[in-house]
Amino acid sequence: MQTLSPERLTELRVKANDVRAGIIRSLVAAGSGHSAGPLDMADVFTALYGHLMAHRPDQPDWPDRDRLLLSCGHIAPVRYSAMANFGYFPVEELLTLRKFGTRLQGHPERVTLPSVETTSGPLGEGLAQGTGMALGAKLDGKAFHVWVVTSDAEHQCGLHWEAVMTAAKFGLDNLTAIVDRNFIQIDGSTEDVMPLEPLAEKYRAFNWDVFTCDGNDIAAFIATAEQARATRGKPQVIIANTVPGKGVSYMEGDYTWHGKPPNREQADRALAELHAERERILAHA
């Protein structure tokens, strides 16, 4: 694993900022889509594509690649922007989000876009799919790791917990679930709609190894993910505490941005803030 030097950390922070800018540009071009979740997961996806995962953008079907599944498919703009910024396709293609004939559909579709492992849509199914992949890797003697990004609200789905039980039964230590713990869903706070706490204790009771971190701190997330991946005999979950709308001041912490895009004026303001943050990161490098 590449050592995370101060210089490399700065590069990743700049890249996460670029991923956020790509999210905003794609959403305003589409005129629809989700804002808060994609923005708050930009650091996690940058860490995955930029440091943690074994993958080859120029060979997306490389058999030994790590598998990354996006269970909460509605935050697809962050995956698309990360993939573009790490060389899977031109950044300009982000402007085709949700348009007729695009490869960048509202939810990822595995046939049209390279390295997208599953077609996602119904919440709660991603961990079940990842569990199957991780078990298959064990049976085939493969060394790749399976990462599954989940929303916190989809923990309200029963299928998710069936997968949690199954993964523990088979000791799938090649499986890491990442929970975007932003505490929001389309109707408000998760703790008002259907309380999830104590979430960590629930996973421990199902015999998972549990880790928590600041999901908007790239260095902290990478350190936590590397510790999790070193676990033997159990699947792991990383509860990544995030700020919905992270990086855009007027969106941060506001659940109403869960399922809507910015208009042109709002997008210009967001991009100006992100440009200023990019300059700040470079100035303090």
Give, in order, the Cα–Cα distances in Å from 191 to each of 38, 124, 140, 199, 268: 21, 18, 41, 11, 33
**109, amino acid identity:** E
- Whether the pLDDT of residue 255 is over 70: the answer is yes
Give me the torsion for CA of 58, 60, 63, 69, rounded to 10°.
Answer: 150
Q: Quick one: what percent of the chain has pLDDT higher than 90? A: 94
Question: In the predicted model, what is the mean pLDDT of residues 45-49?
Answer: 98
Name which of 15-29, 34-48, 104-118 the model is least confident about. Answer: 104-118
* Residue 2 pLDDT: 59
pLDDT range class, residue 101, cuts 50, 70, 90: very high
106-140 per-residue burial string, b: 16 or more CB within 10 A, e: under 16: bebbeeebebbbbbbeebbbbbbbbbbbbbebeee
Give the global pTM: 0.96
Distance between CA atoms of 46 and 121, rounded to whole angstroms? Answer: 22
* Segment 146-196, tens digit of pLDDT: 999 999 999 999 999 999 999 999 999 999 999 999 999 989 999 999 999
pLDDT at 120: 87
pLDDT digits (tens, 9 = 90+) for 71-85: 999 999 999 999 999
Nearest to 281, CA basis, from 5, 2, 3, 6: 6
Structure confidence at residue 114 (pLDDT): 84
Structural domains of the chain, with CATH: 6-283 (3.40.50.970)
- pLDDT of 1 above 60: no
Per-residue pLDDT, 285: 81
From 74, 84, 76, 73, select the one nearest 50 (Cα to Cα).
Answer: 84
Measured between alpha carbons, how far is 258 from 261 in angstroms, rounded to an integer? 9
